């Protein structure tokens, strides 16, 4: 196994636990420091978003690049064995993600997807992006009332 393959594998293994991954915790802690109030895992919302900001009516998904198929990302590869199995699995995940996002948007929520590699590679930049989307969101919401 080459170095990149090893790196990918340990990265993906860390994702199998699902919730409370490093990048997700990093995102939460940056939001917290930024003074944003949020809830974890919106159980009553489509897709159970990882971070919910009621004031902004915004739901954030911290997506793993491998499972959720981050396009053109080095972590988004297809295992060589059982190719068909993975293909089907990934297709279903991507389809379900799209449905959940449509459903959230349809009920007036702003769905935001943050990729784990973005947080991993440049947490500050990712937070700045999310922060500015939230500010725009608030302006828009206030403008609507």
Chain residues that interact with Zn ion, rule: CB under 5 A: 65, 70, 73, 115, 117
Which CB, 36 or 117, lies closer to Zn ion?
Answer: 117
With beta carbons less than 8 A apart as the criterion, state whether 69 and 87 touch: no
Which CB, 40 or 73, lies closer to Zn ion?
Answer: 73
The H-or-E segment that residue 105 falls in is: helix 83-106
Which CB, 28 or 70, lies closer to Zn ion?
Answer: 70
Dmax over CA atoms of the chain, in Å, equals: 57
Detail the DSSP E strand segments found in 20-133: 39-40, 51-53, 58-63, 110-115
Distance CA 103, CA 99 (A): 6
Distance CA 56, CA 141 (A): 8
Which CB, 97 or 109, lies closer to Zn ion?
Answer: 97
């Amino acid at each position: 196994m080459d170095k990149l393959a090893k790196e990918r594998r340990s990265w993906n293994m860390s994702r199998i636990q699902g919730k409370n991954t490093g990048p997700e915790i990093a995102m939460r802690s940056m939001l917290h420091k930024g003074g944003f109030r949020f809830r974890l895992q919106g159980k009553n919302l489509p897709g159970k978003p990882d971070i919910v900001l009621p004031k902004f009516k915004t739901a954030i998904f911290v997506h793993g690049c491998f499972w959720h198929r981050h396009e053109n990302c080095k972590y988004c590869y297809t295992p060589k064995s059982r190719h068909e199995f993975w293909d089907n699995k990934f297709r279903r995940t991507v389809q379900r993600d799209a449905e959940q996002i449509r459903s959230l948007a349809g009920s007036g929520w702003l769905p935001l997807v943050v990729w784990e590699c973005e947080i991993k590679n440049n947490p500050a930049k990712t937070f700045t992006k999310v922060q500015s989307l939230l500010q725009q969101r608030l302006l828009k919401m206030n403008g609507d009332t």
